[in-house]
Structures are given as structure tokens and as C-alpha cells.
Amino acid sequence: MVRVRKFSRFNSFVLLMIGLLMLIGMTGQILFSIPLMWPCISTCIVLYYLHSCGMKFDTDLFTNVDNRNTFERRMIEFEKYKEVWVIVCDVNELKYINDTFGHRKGDELLAVTASLLAKLFSNYGAVSRIGGDEFCILCPTKQSKNQINTLMTKVNMGIKNKIKEVRINYPLSYGFARYRKSDNDKRLIDVFEDADLMMFEMKKKLK
């Protein structure tokens, strides 16, 4: 399992600090009659606010996966890995869903897609929303093409099961390519473009 979300430990640290400050404030107030409660509460509020701001800069607020800024940073960071699978996804029929059933149903389609990608790829890599209906997964783990196709098939089946208005078997077009650090001719951004091209080829076949 590759740990790609760096905020997990930071979340725990912030919660621990808030808990300790609250404990110090209560102890000082009750045992020693020292008026520490309100200063500690104020500090906790500031800590929580700063933490929330940090999360907003790194997370897409609508889908709760990494945003474009985080994705671009990971594209640089992940070049240190020996191998990285790049999977580019595009939600099909979003315009049809929006036009026919309203934008609320279209928003639900995006949210469900992001949730399924995050769940199924949680042990393999980082999921990012890189555009309105586009997602990318960076997987610095050794996977086979069959494994990736199996995971993406599960995502597509999950979307169809949850969004009944979807008409086609593949509501999510995708393409993937593998980056190898030993291949000096290609950077990770070049591999991303290869995966993006493969995704568009699949999208054309579904029309």
C-alpha cells in the first residue's frame, strides 16, 4: 500500500493539539482557578480554521478528491518513483444528464464517480479532479493492465448501479500509460498525454 495522501498524519496532529489544549484549559480552570478556558478555545478555533484553509487549497471541495493544484504538484513529486501508472478518465454523458435531468443529477454523477475512484484506488494511488468532468489517478504501484481494466470496470458498473439515468455501459471513458524512471526519453507529463490520447480513442468508439 502506498500512502499518497499526506494530510492523514497532519489531521491526527491537529486533532491531538486541539484535544490537549481543551484539556489544559479545563484543568487550569477547574483545579487551579486559572482562566485558561477561553484562550485555549480561541487557539483551537484558529488551529481548526488554518487547518481547513490548508485542506481547501489541496482538495476539490465538491468531490473531496485532490484538486488540480495538488495533481500538478504530484506530477513533479511522483517522478521519483521507478514506475507510475497514469490513468486519465472522462465522464461520458454529463451534458446529456445535465440537459435531460438537471444539473443536480449531473453533480450527483460527478460525486459518485469521484467517490468510486477514491474507494477502489485508495490502496494504489492518488485520485485528482483535473477538470470539470475529468479525473486522473497516479499509481506508483506495480499493477498489470488487466488489474487496471478490472478496477475501471468496477467503477463503471458502480456508476451504472447508482445513477440509473446513465444509458451506456461505459459512463466513464479512460486511458492509461506507464511511466518508467529508467526511460529517460519520457517524463511523467509525456506519459499523461499518452494516457489522455488513449482515453479519447475510447471515447470516440463509444459515440
CATH classification of the domain holding 134? 3.30.70.270
- Indicate whether 1 pLDDT > 60: no
pLDDT of residue 9: 47
If asked whether residues 52 and 76 sit together in one domain, one would say no
Instruction: Say yes or no: 98 and 142 in one domain.
Output: yes
The mean-pLDDT minimum among 8-22, 60-74, 115-129 falls in 8-22
Decide which of 134 and 57 is more confident. 134
Q: Which domain holds residue 49?
A: 7-58
Residue 100 has pLDDT above 50, yes or no: yes
Asked if 80 and 117 sit in the same domain, the reply is: yes
Are residues 117 and 144 both part of a single domain?
yes
2 within domain boundaries: no
136 inside domain? yes
Beta strands per DSSP E along the chain: 83-91, 126-129, 134-139, 172-180
Specify whether 50 is located in the same domain as 91: no
> 27 and 112 in one domain?
no
- Average the pLDDT over 66-90 and give the result: 93
Q: Clarify whether residues 27 and 113 are in a common domain.
A: no
Residue 58 confidence (pLDDT): 81
Position 91 confidence tier, pLDDT thresholds 50, 70, 90: very high
Residue where the block lists cell 470516440: 204
**Residue 61: pLDDT above 80?**
yes
Given this model, what pLDDT does residue 105 score?
92
Range name among 20-29, 145-154, 187-196 with the lowest pLDDT average: 20-29
Instruction: Indicate whether 155 belongs to any domain.
Output: yes
Q: Are residues 118 and 157 in the same domain?
A: yes
Residue 77 lies in a domain: yes
The whole-angstrom separation of Cα 178 and Cα 71 is 17
Average pLDDT, the chain: 82
Residue 63 in any domain: the answer is: no
Q: Are residues 106 and 49 part of one domain? A: no
So what's the pLDDT on residue 93?
Answer: 83
Q: Is residue 1 part of a domain?
A: no
Q: Which range is least confidently modeled, 39-43, 69-73, 195-199? A: 39-43
Tell me which long-range contacts 158-165 makes (C-beta under 8 A, separation of at least 24). Answer: 158/112, 158/116, 158/120, 159/109, 159/112, 159/113, 159/116, 162/112, 163/97, 163/105, 163/108, 163/109, 163/112, 165/97, 165/100, 165/101, 165/105
Dihedral sign for Cα 72, 128, 104, 171, please: positive
In this prediction the pTM is: 0.74
Quote the CA–CA distance of 155 and 114 in Å, as a whole number: 10
Q: Is residue 38 domain-shared with residue 77, that is, in the same domain?
A: no
Residue 16's pLDDT band (cuts 50, 70, 90): low
In a domain, 157, yes or no: yes
> Are 36 and 106 in a shared domain?
no
| 40 and 82, same domain (yes or no) | no
What is the number of structural domains in the chain? 2
Residue 81: per-residue pLDDT = 92
